[in-house]
Amino acid sequence: MTKVRTRFAPSPTGYMHIGNLRTALYEYLVAKKDPEGVFILRIEDTDQGRLIEGATDIIYNTLAQCKLFHDEGPDVGGNYGSYVQSERMKSGIYKEYAEKLIELGGAHYCFCQEEDIQAQRELAEARGESFIFNDPCKKLSSEEIQSRIAAGEKYVVRQNIPSTGTTSFDDEVYGTITVENSTLDEAILLKSDGFPTYNFANIIDDHMMEITHVIRGNEYLSSTPKYNLVYQSFGWDIPTYIHCPPVMKDEHHKLSKRNGDASFQDLVAKGYLPEAIINYIALLGWSPETEQEIYTLDELKQAFNVKRIGTSGAIFDIDKLTWMNGMYLRNMDIDTYFELANPYIEKAVSNKYNHKYIAKILQQRANTLAEIEEMLDFFDNYPSFDIELYNNKKMKSNPEIALPSLKATKELYENLPNWEESTIHDEMMALVEKLGIKNGQLLYPVRVAITGKQFTPGGAIELSHILGKEETLRRLDIAIKQLEQ
């Protein structure tokens, strides 16, 4: 069996689309399922002048962050020619192949004017007819063709499509698809400037790079029969096709840059982990055989099976990603977590507080790194707040109950032998006992008083400990004064 070779062929647009990333993931997984499989990166940078500075770096960085390491590519080399399409263009290979295809009867020269064809098309559409271009140039004699070319007349190379019969292909996810040849347009392969069209370049590149599995979005489903006709004319092996359903923003729209939808970089900036993003998008449109949902990349390689890719579009659900990201955050060891979270903790909390301890209480609560800053804002800035906050039905707390609780806590805190968390805990519990109230009636008001927030990462005891005796007492004082008014 020949070894599997797949390729990821993005355009450097400066934006790593989630759908594209998923395609890259699937390409990587299909390749790596085979111990000798090869995953290739080919940059398709022939976009009409839309070159964006640093855009290829985004592609390299994204793949590296996701650990989707490619075996061949512009930056890592390989034995299959340039991996940058603009460089391949210069070599003239496409023209050679186009001419070869003409010899083989799979294509022909066409001297028609673009405007003429366009006019015909518009005429047909105006009449409500479907338009299939019937190229008169197909009837040209080879002598005439030669003389017109010799005379310097512009031409394109156009694919030959039989006017009868059908063309079928097998897709691993959509099954066998058959179309009537009579509904297929004879596509231009080589443009009048001598450069190939995207689809033709793709066919040639994939063949030259010995790609065995073509994985792409299902928007290519309709053009695949035309691809096959070219392969057949050349007598080349047809790759295995794996068309994937789209990743949607909502019921009707695909996720796209135009809509301003989140890209991979945006998600990372929002505090999502590349591992979690990969894990989540693997499950968008593909389902494993077991009920397992959390997968490492290695586990994904094991579990992945093309046959279980679905056929209908999947809506990107940020809530589920958020949940999954939280799972990753919670399941990592505290040191790793601290390393990841600290930059965010630094943004919100000055060094006078113990960041490591803060990370510990944060780990079970934050689902994304980016939300950390807001969760910790009360450390350096003690906010003013409404005494309404003391009202909590479940805790049986209200401003009236809060005042004596705060006063008692203040007195207790002032006389504590030390500021260990265990000491604070034991003494506070004893105080609850002594006052004959509920835990929440003491601890809830204290927590509100020292943070000014309804929700905090951690309870009154933990937070008192982190804030330190002096700061805690200061805040308690302010809170008591506010309540006394």
The interface with RNA within residues 112-171 (CB under 7 A) comprises: 112-114, 117, 121, 128, 130, 154, 156
**How far apart are CB 327 and RNA at their closest, in Å?**
7
Binds RNA by CB under 7 A, chosen from 183, 296, 336, 422: 183
Query: How far is Cα 315 from Cα 245, in angstroms, rounded to an integer?
Result: 11
Binds RNA by CB under 7 A, chosen from 146, 170, 198, 396: 198
Per CB under 7 A, contacts with RNA among 224-263 are 245-246, 248, 251-252, 254
Contact criterion met (CB below 8 Å) for 211 and 7 = yes
Query: How far is Cα 383 from Cα 374, in angstroms, rounded to an integer?
Result: 13
Query: How far is Cα 304 from Cα 182, in angstroms, rounded to an integer?
Result: 38
Considering only the stretches 233-241, 351-359, 381-389, 391-399, report the one whose residues sit in contact with RNA under the rule CB under 7 A: 391-399
Rule CB under 7 A: say whether 15 interacts with RNA. no
Which positions ≥6 away from 259 have C-beta within 8 Å? Answer: 249, 253
Instruction: Estimate the crossing angle of helix 93-103 against helix 224-234, to 10 degrees.
Output: 70
Of residues 130 and 384, the one with the C-beta less far from RNA: 130
**How far apart are CB 3 and RNA at their closest, in Å?**
27
End-to-end CA distance of the chain: give it in Å, rounded.
84
Per CB under 7 A, contacts with RNA among 435-464 are 439-440, 443-444, 447, 454-462
The active-site residue out of 257, 320, 347, 352 is: 257
Considering only the stretches 182-190, 344-352, 382-390, 400-408, report the one whose residues sit in contact with RNA under the rule CB under 7 A: 182-190
Which positions ≥6 away from 249 have C-beta within 8 Å? Answer: 255, 256, 259, 261, 315, 316
Of residues 3 and 330, the one with the C-beta less far from RNA: 330
User: Which stretches within 66-188 are classed as H helix?
Assistant: 85-90, 93-103, 114-126, 142-150
Of residues 14 and 37, the one with the C-beta less far from RNA: 14
Query: How far is Cα 351 from Cα 226, in angstroms, rounded to an integer?
Result: 64
**How far apart are CB 83 and RNA at their closest, in Å?**
14
**How far apart are CB 219 and RNA at their closest, in Å?**
3
The number of CA neighbours under 13 Å toward the Cβ of 271 is 21
Strands (E), 10-60: 38-41
**How far apart are CB 2 and RNA at their closest, in Å?**
28
Dihedral over Cα of 267, 268, 269, 270: its sign: positive
Binds RNA by CB under 7 A, chosen from 65, 120, 218, 398: 218
Query: How far is Cα 375 from Cα 356, in angstroms, rounded to an integer?
Result: 15
Of residues 37 and 226, the one with the C-beta less far from RNA: 226
- Among residues 368, 287, 276, which one has the least CA distance to residue 66? 276
Binds RNA by CB under 7 A, chosen from 35, 175, 235, 436: 175
φ and ψ of 378, to 5 deg = -80, -10
**How far apart are CB 375 and RNA at their closest, in Å?**
8
Per CB under 7 A, contacts with RNA among 331-360 are none
Rule CB under 7 A: say whether 283 interacts with RNA. yes
Binding mask 61-80 for RNA (x = CB under 7 A): --------------------
**How far apart are CB 35 and RNA at their closest, in Å?**
26
Question: Which helix H or strand E contains 190, and what residues bound it?
Answer: strand 188-190
Binds RNA by CB under 7 A, chosen from 174, 231, 264, 337: 174
Contact criterion met (CB below 8 Å) for 186 and 101 = no
Per CB under 7 A, contacts with RNA among 22-41 are none
Contact criterion met (CB below 8 Å) for 85 and 44 = yes
Binds RNA by CB under 7 A, chosen from 143, 291, 388, 484: 291
Does the annotation mark 257 as catalytic? yes
Binding mask 293-332 for RNA (x = CB under 7 A): x--------------x-xxxxxx-x-xx-xx--xx--x--
**How far apart are CB 88 and RNA at their closest, in Å?**
11
Rule CB under 7 A: say whether 404 interacts with RNA. no
Beta bridge partners of 171: 175, 241
Q: How many residues bind RNA (CB under 7 A)?
A: 86
Catalytic residues: 257
